[in-house]
């Protein structure tokens, strides 16, 4: 597969991830300042999570209604559906890299800034938790959330 096809397919998958996250907050671009996606795959562990900057406040999925004026369904069932869909998309991303004979990233971070209509994607290939005795994948995610909070 030519590199141009790879890049287009990768961008499409990243767009789908952002689409899922945007749908979760009912496409509320007026209140949602940013969407953040975290995906990790190390050894046999796959993990995804999403959080937002809403009305200037950094919130995780279960907290979105604390920041939104226009409330959404953020039930456990809906959160689970979002996470399942993003796990499937993360698997598609991995398969895309494999099909193009590329090293599969162990971590992907996507930041989308609604007001600017701009996104940033960062890939990492190192091990972050699977080679550590006490660190878990959710600890790595929590560190990123705290980093974003401290920057805002």
pLDDT at site 35: 97
Res. 128: pLDDT tops 80: no
Radius of gyration of the chain (CA): 15
Q: What is the pLDDT of residue 1?
A: 47
Q: What is the pLDDT of residues 92-123, one digit of tens each?
A: 999 999 999 999 999 999 999 998 999 999 99
Q: How distant is the alpha carbon of residue 144 from its chain centre?
A: 11
- Residues counted in the chain: 152
148: pLDDT strictly greater than 50: yes
Backbone angle region of 27, left / alpha / beta, with phi > 0 → left and psi within -120 to 50 → alpha: left
Percent over 90 (pLDDT), the chain: 80
pTM (two decimals): 0.91
Close Cβ partners of 62 (under 8 Å, ≥ 6 residues apart): 74, 79
Phi and psi torsions of 123, nearest 5° = -110, 145
Which domain range does residue 82 map to? 3-151
The total number of structural domains that make up the chain: 1
Could you tell me the two tokens for 38?
A: 């975290």
Which band of pLDDT confidence, cut at 50, 70 and 90, is reported for residue 24? very high
Calculate the average pLDDT of the chain.
91
Distance CA 31, CA 56 (A): 9
Q: Does 57 or 129 have the greater pLDDT score?
A: 57
Q: Above 50 in pLDDT, residue 44?
A: yes
Whichever domain contains 147, its CATH number is 3.30.500.20
């Amino acid at each position: 597969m030519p590199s141009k096809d790879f890049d287009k397919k990768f961008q499409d998958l990243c767009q789908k991830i952002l689409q899922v996250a945007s749908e979760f907050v009912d496409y509320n671009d007026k209140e949602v300042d940013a969407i953040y996606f975290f995906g990790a795959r190390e050894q046999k562990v796959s993990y995804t999570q999403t959080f937002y900057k809403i009305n200037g406040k950094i919130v995780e999925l279960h907290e979105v209604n604390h920041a939104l004026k226009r409330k959404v369904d953020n039930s456990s069932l809906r959160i689970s559906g979002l996470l399942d869909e993003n796990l499937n998309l993360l698997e598609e991303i991995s398969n895309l890299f494999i099909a193009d004979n590329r090293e599969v990233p162990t971590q992907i971070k996507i930041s989308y800034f609604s007001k600017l209509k701009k996104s940033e994607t960062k890939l990492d290939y190192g091990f972050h938790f699977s080679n550590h005795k006490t660190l878990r994948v959710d600890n790595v995610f929590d560190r990123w959330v705290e980093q974003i909070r401290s920057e805002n």
